[in-house]
A and B are shown apart, each in its own frame.
Chain A
């Protein structure tokens, strides 16, 4: 039973570029949340997707957007990348909203 899978594992971009990160939830899970984890910090909630709609959002600018597909997989898009966007981006899935979240191993994004 595959857990949460994220791709790519590592990514290097330059300032101003755009990036798309992908997430496949754990089998049977229909809710996906995205978190940003800066080095040495706890994860910070970006947003949650359920039934292909953004249901909740954290304190992140509109440069951060997402999408959920009918198969429950999800994408995180970040536009106009800033140096401060360098972080580990984590995807978490759960069986409906409110249930325990299972995290993937993340995508390490480095901005030069």
Chain B
């Protein structure tokens, strides 16, 4: 049962452009929303995370925007670089479950020269 819907499935962005990946959730009892980056042959690496009491969080070129009323959150990658080419997963953690992350289906990002 899909509880976190992620879009788009794939994304092509030119170098220097902005990459935007969106996620929507159905269960309101989530209290932690991380984004993971995964390169081929590697495990997911934590990129940035946000809690629902904050509307935006920025770390370097990566920004999470969170809209609690719409149950949506998005990842913005500014000044996208070829090295950012990877698969990105949003996730959500149900309140009280401590570690049980529910992942989206992933977005394959390709940054072209």
Name A residues whose Cβ lies closer than 8 Å to a Cβ of B. 4, 31, 33, 35, 40-45, 48, 55-56, 58, 90, 92, 94, 97-98, 100-106
Contacts and interface: CB of A to CB of B under 8 A. Distances in A.
Residue from the set B42, B101, B102 with the largest chain A CB neighbour count within 10 Å: B101
5 contacts: A42-B6, A45-B100, A55-B98, A101-B101, A102-B46
B37 to A, nearest CB: 11
A51 to B, nearest CB: 13
A106 B39 CA distance: 12
Interface string B40-52: 0111111001000
B99 interface: yes
A48 B96 CA distance: 13
- A92, A97, A101, A104 pick with most chain B CB within 10 angstroms: A101
B85 interface: no
B43 to A, nearest CB: 4
Nearest to B102: A45
Given A102-B46, A105-B41, A58 B104 contact: no
Interface of B: 6, 34, 36, 41-46, 49, 89, 91, 97-106
A43 B103 CA distance: 6
Given A103-B43, A105-B41, A48 B105 contact: no
B43 A90 contact: yes
Given A56-B97, A105-B41, A100 B46 contact: yes
B98 A43 contact: no
Given A42-B104, A42-B106, A97 B99 contact: yes
A106 B40 CA distance: 11
Given A48-B98, A56-B99, A101-B101, A43 B44 contact: yes
Contacts of A58: 100
